[in-house]
Amino acid sequence: DGYFEQVVRQCRYSSKDLQGIEYIDSYVFNQAEYIRFNSTVGKFVGYTEHGVKNAEAWNSDAGILAQELGELERYCKHNADLHYSA
């Protein structure tokens, strides 16, 4: 019973080259992803009516986009050595 909300943040490493890293920030409600930020695309993409509205608002805010793109450096690239050594 009830509702389930989750945020999934992941780094995808396609090669040891730091240019091949992709940061993805997904928002899920009741097992349905409704919005996603992808560093390769460089913006939010909505998958539901609610997600599309959020994507439009978040993409128009340069601060939010800069923060998301900063996660690629801060989170993914910073931890790349740990990923490759595991």
DSSP code, position 44: E
Encoded tokens for 39: 């560093």
Q: Which of 33, 12, 34, 35 is nearest to 22 (CA)?
A: 12
What is the reported pTM?
0.84
Residue 40 belongs to a domain with what CATH number? 3.10.320.10
Give me the pLDDT at residue 83, please: 67
Range of the domain at 68: 5-85
Q: How many domains does the chain have?
A: 1
pLDDT in tens, the chain (86 residues): 789 999 999 998 877 667 788 999 999 999 999 999 999 999 999 999 999 999 999 999 999 999 999 998 888 888 777 766 66
Task: Tell me the three state secondary structure of residue 15.
Answer: coil
Give me the pLDDT at residue 1, please: 73
Beta pairing, strands 43-46 & 21-29: unpaired
